[in-house]
Structure 1
């Protein structure tokens, strides 16, 4: 399949006006026929939430949906593209690293939804280092800051399908650094297992704390080599090949429980 023949659905969770989506759209233009169906507003961290109805308007980039990334994938693949080949989600403002983040991310969830349509997908996110005295909401990368992410994604779009990558993976979770130190290397990784969440209760509300990100900013998170977080902290593009459907294994202990169940 040539690049010109490839039909690509591009979506995200930051919204159709985000610079990360625009950077990817421009980078993918030479690699296929790109159709943008993206949320009209920021839908970060909505996971695989979906709507039953959602308003849609035409946009200079494509179609803006008053809904979630999952809504956009379902609509894009069934209503706006006749014969899709690939779904790309991103580029997200902020990395999507580690096992525990995958189910929360709207960006990754868009790729997961594509997998249930039996289509290959790539979810791309930008690692944005946050100093201790700065709030994440105050950091707004510009389009040029997504250059490394866009370049890596375009490369994978060009080569991954024909190379057989998706014979073994349903989707690729890509995390790229800011383009501060020149071109980055690409590293094949696995999601980190690091997890440290807790909550405090005060004055009638709870406040959730993600200490993984706090420790990552401090540089003292001991992630093993080969993990996505280790790669990105060391300035490399992380590519994790992942599968979407939930899998089961045979468990003799569970068989024994079923055999002794009496229903009363």
Structure 2
């Protein structure tokens, strides 16, 4: 087992099912060989691919196939075994994480952040780039940066100084739940085009000298590639809740105002860009910056005297 560290450090304990037909993820044993047994690195672009919709989702299949078909990269897939949408940057605790082989790579019984740490520390060559997606549904606005598992996978990579791209596709919805909309890999063709383009050219262009990761959102695909706009995350956020007997229903109202003719977001924001049919790319940084200011400093300086007076 190798340890990958940069801004932080990671130690990963991974386990796989026993090699029997009746095994499940709860029957585990440590399997992986030491890092010294791994194949030496080559000059080939190494990509770690993950998502939050789960390894069997059509979005990750679409991106995987596009990267394999249209780039010279070696693609290692380490993705959640089940849907982990909106889990944020949560990480699993308690030791071993279930792991099984999958036709695309590895299915991990954990979160997208788990998958990134596992992929960086143990499950493949050191990646030059982490790609997360393609997510079923857009990830737009500042508020999703800590909520989206797709974006959080990119943030996790950024903490290890590995450039990352998080790709999501806007899917217009009416009364039909997003998860019930039937999508094929062809529906992700805009995401395929943009992600492969960025994977092929962004590193050499020096994009990641100025950004830790890219939050990419694509519109519903048209017949021709949509233009790209460099954006900033929208600040719009609107949620409410309705309580009934024994439960509370949460309503995310942001998606109710995606009409390009009436959308309230200003020009240059990710939501307006996607609503108007263009690809949004927001270059972002991690970790978050701090903002020291005099008022907080004054509170810190007077803390001891005020608390001591109150205790007397």
TM-score by length of 2: 0.81
Aligned with residue 243 of structure 1, among 268, 276, 285? 285
Stretches of structure 1 lacking an aligned partner (at least 5 in a row): none
How much has 1:189 moved relative to structure 2? 0.4
How much has 1:152 moved relative to structure 2? 0.2
Distance 2:162 2:43 in 1: 18
Q: What are the residue-to-residue correspondences of 1:147-166 with 2, within 5 Å?
A: 147-166=189-208
- Tell me, yes or no, if structure 1 residue 20 matches structure 2 residue 59: yes
Assess if the C-alpha contact under 8 Å between 1:31 and 1:157 holds in 2: no
Assess if the C-alpha contact under 8 Å between 1:35 and 1:81 holds in 2: yes
Stretches of structure 2 lacking an aligned partner (at least 5 in a row): 1-41
Matched positions, count: 261
TM-score by length of 1: 0.95
- The SS at the match of 2:273 is helix
- The SS at the match of 2:48 is strand
Q: What are the residue-to-residue correspondences of 1:31-42 with 2, within 5 Å?
A: 31-42=72-83
* Larger RCO (alpha carbons 8 Å, 6+ apart): 1
Counterpart of 1:213 in structure 2 is: 255
Assess if the C-alpha contact under 8 Å between 2:47 and 2:130 holds in 1: yes
How much has 1:246 moved relative to structure 2? 1.8
- Tell me, yes or no, if structure 1 residue 125 matches structure 2 residue 168: yes
How much has 1:218 moved relative to structure 2? 8.6
Assess if the C-alpha contact under 8 Å between 2:88 and 2:149 holds in 1: yes
- The SS at the match of 1:89 is strand
How much has 1:123 moved relative to structure 2? 0.2
Counterpart of 1:192 in structure 2 is: 234
Aligned with residue 295 of structure 2, among 249, 253, 256? 253
Assess if the C-alpha contact under 8 Å between 1:48 and 1:109 holds in 2: yes
RMSD after superposition: 1.5
Assess if the C-alpha contact under 8 Å between 1:130 and 1:217 holds in 2: no
Distance 1:251 1:140 in 2: 50
**Residues 87, 190 of structure 1: CA spacing in aligned structure 2 closer, same or farther, 3 A cutoff?**
same
- The SS at the match of 2:75 is strand
Distance 2:102 2:179 in 1: 25
Query: Alpha-carbon deviations, 1:156-198, whole Å to 9, x = none?
Result: 1111111111111100000011213421001100000011111
- Give the number of the structure whose alpha-carbon radius of gyration is greater: 2
